[in-house]
């Protein structure tokens, strides 16, 4: 019988350190009103420096998901770890998570870099593995530590006030139930606008080098991986974002990819019980809700409490909505994300 992929367990973790908008006024020329008006965010969570990181948060979220799935860590036969803020440049966080969970079966670990869309991308990858029978218990995690790499100055306020730290995880398993599981996933990209939301400085060279490697090496731009004072002073050590441009693209791509998922499964907007959009900006989510004619009960947002946690935002919101009883067995759940790359995607799930 044809197998589908179900979410067997889900969990999330956010640090205890709550940072309110008024707290940011101490270091950035901003106000609570300014931040809420533009983003809808009231507070976010930051890790305890030197005590928590991307992997440790992933561990806590994973433990909850594994327990709720009714399995042990050693039952996990594949890990997919989504993050733009790994603890090391290499190796990736997937192997660190495998180590910290004490998984002894030498399972595979895959790290993916699709930023805001990463959880949906990871879900699509896992779905293929489950459907083909290659794996039976996949741990998919999105975890981010943004607070360690933001520009806490007035220059960087348009970006820094948006992001928070946290992790979300799911355990994915096969199911033969006809009315349960992932119905379809849909993935897209448009690299034309890659630099509109990006961290451009890597290896001492900003931008894309178009000459040959010999010229590059002799040019003195080969550089190093270390952050210099010059990079901090000129802002290239921090992420950049063209907010209005990102907004204009997001409000087009979100509805497109949501409708793509519905059309692929002969579903209507009224069939959606819960839409979980990537928590990029509350204004984006509200625009999409109004454009699609969805009710308040059909959309869940929690960016007000956690900010934008990038790869972690969809699983955190999905888990919280489920814990609050807003997602029940048999519900039609749509996940959608748009972000840096540009990348965007959706998944339609029968819960």
Q: Is the pLDDT of residue 235 over 90?
A: no
Among 93, 116, 319, 334, which one carries the catalytic annotation? 116
Q: Is the pLDDT of residue 274 over 60?
A: yes
Q: What CATH number is given to the structural domain containing 294? A: 3.40.47.10
Q: Is 292 exposed, middle or buried (0-12, 13-18, 19+ CB in 10 A)?
A: middle
Q: Is the pLDDT of residue 236 over 70?
A: no
Handedness of CA 174, 178, 316, 13 (dihedral sign): negative
Give me the number of domains the chain comprises: 3
Q: Is 180 exposed, middle or buried (0-12, 13-18, 19+ CB in 10 A)?
A: middle
The pLDDT > 70 percentage for the chain reads 89
- Regarding whether 329 and 221 lie in a shared domain, the answer is no
- Regarding whether 156 and 27 lie in a shared domain, the answer is yes
Q: How confident is the model at residue 267, as a pLDDT?
A: 98
- How far is Cα 107 from Cα 40, in angstroms, rounded to an integer? 41
The pLDDT > 90 percentage for the chain reads 75
* 7-11, 163-167, 196-200: least confidently modelled range: 196-200
Dihedral through CA 78, CA 61, CA 337, CA 200, nearest 10? -90
Among 302, 308, 319, 334, which one carries the catalytic annotation? 308
Helices (H), 265-308: 282-292, 303-306
Task: Identify whether 17 is a catalytic site residue.
Answer: no
Mean pLDDT of the chain: 90
Among 146, 186, 201, 278, which one carries the catalytic annotation? 278
- Regarding whether 164 and 259 lie in a shared domain, the answer is no
- When comparing pLDDT for 313 and 202, which is higher? 313
- Regarding whether 144 and 88 lie in a shared domain, the answer is yes
Q: Is the pLDDT of residue 223 over 60?
A: no
Q: Is the pLDDT of residue 228 over 80?
A: no
Q: Is the pLDDT of residue 222 over 80?
A: no
Q: Is the pLDDT of residue 202 over 60?
A: no
- Regarding whether 52 and 30 lie in a shared domain, the answer is yes
- Is residue 208 very low, low, confident or very high in pLDDT (cuts 50, 70, 90)? very low
Q: How large is the average pLDDT for residues 76-83?
A: 98
Q: Is the pLDDT of residue 214 over 50?
A: no
Contact yes or no for 183/265 (Cβ under 8 A): yes
Q: Is the pLDDT of residue 324 over 60?
A: yes
- Regarding whether 311 and 286 lie in a shared domain, the answer is yes
Q: How large is the average pLDDT for residues 98-111?
A: 96
Please give the residue range of the domain that contains residue 265: 181-194+241-350
- When comparing pLDDT for 64 and 221, which is higher? 64
Q: Is the pLDDT of residue 218 over 60?
A: no
- Regarding whether 106 and 206 lie in a shared domain, the answer is no
Q: How confident is the model at residue 246, as a pLDDT?
A: 86
Q: Is the pLDDT of residue 221 over 50?
A: no
pTM equals 0.91
Q: How large is the average pLDDT for residues 81-105?
A: 95
- Is residue 203 very low, low, confident or very high in pLDDT (cuts 50, 70, 90)? very low
- Regarding whether 218 and 185 lie in a shared domain, the answer is no
Task: Identify whether 278 is a catalytic site residue.
Answer: yes
Task: Identify whether 249 is a catalytic site residue.
Answer: no
| 3-class DSSP state of 166 | strand
- How far is Cα 116 from Cα 340, in angstroms, rounded to an integer? 7
Q: Is the pLDDT of residue 240 over 80?
A: no
Q: How confident is the model at residue 5, as a pLDDT?
A: 98
Q: Is the pLDDT of residue 186 over 90?
A: yes
- Is residue 232 very low, low, confident or very high in pLDDT (cuts 50, 70, 90)? low
- Regarding whether 17 and 157 lie in a shared domain, the answer is yes
Q: How confident is the model at residue 211, as a pLDDT?
A: 41
- Regarding whether 213 and 265 lie in a shared domain, the answer is no
- Regarding whether 321 and 249 lie in a shared domain, the answer is yes
Supply the angle between the helices 32-39 and 282-292 in degrees, to the nearest 10. Answer: 30
The tokens describing 193, both together, are 């606008």
- Regarding whether 92 and 69 lie in a shared domain, the answer is yes
């Amino acid at each position: 019988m044809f197998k589908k992929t179900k979410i067997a367990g889900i969990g999330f973790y956010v640090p205890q350190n709550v940072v309110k908008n008024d707290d940011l006024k101490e270091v950035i020329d901003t106000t609570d009103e300014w931040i809420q008006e533009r983003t809808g965010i009231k507070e976010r969570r930051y890790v305890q420096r030197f005590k928590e990181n991307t992997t440790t948060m992933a561990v806590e979220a994973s433990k909850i998901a594994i327990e709720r799935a009714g399995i042990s860590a050693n039952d996990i036969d594949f890990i997919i770890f989504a993050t733009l803020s790994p603890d090391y440049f290499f190796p990736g966080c997937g192997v660190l998570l495998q180590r910290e969970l004490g998984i002894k079966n030498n399972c595979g670990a895959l790290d993916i870099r699709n930023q805001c869309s990463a959880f949906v991308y990871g879900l699509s990858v896992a779905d293929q593995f489950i459907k083909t029978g290659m794996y039976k218990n996949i741990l998919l995690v999105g975890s981010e530590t943004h607070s360690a790499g933001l520009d806490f100055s007035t220059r960087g306020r348009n970006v820094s006030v948006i992001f928070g730290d946290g992790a979300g995880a799911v355990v994915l398993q096969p199911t033969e139930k006809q009315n349960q599981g992932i119905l379809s996933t849909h993935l897209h990209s448009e690299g034309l606008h890659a630099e509109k939301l990006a961290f451009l400085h890597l290896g001492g060279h900003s931008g894309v080098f178009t000459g040959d490697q010999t010229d590059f090496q002799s040019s003195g731009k080969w550089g190093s991986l270390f952050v210099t004072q010059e990079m901090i002073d000129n802002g290239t050590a921090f992420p950049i974002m063209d907010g209005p441009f990102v907004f204009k693209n997001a409000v087009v791509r979100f509805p497109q990819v949501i409708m793509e998922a519905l059309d692929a499964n002969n579903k209507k907007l009224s069939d959606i019980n819960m839409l979980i959009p990537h928590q990029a900006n509350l204004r984006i989510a509200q625009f999409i809700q109004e454009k699609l004619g969805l009710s308040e009960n059909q959309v869940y947002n929690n960016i007000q409490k956690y900010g934008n946690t990038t790869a972690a935002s969809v699983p955190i919101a999905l888990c919280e909505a489920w814990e609050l009883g807003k997602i029940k067995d048999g519900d039609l759940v749509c996940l959608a994300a748009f972000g840096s790359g540009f990348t965007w995607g959706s998944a339609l799930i029968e819960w």
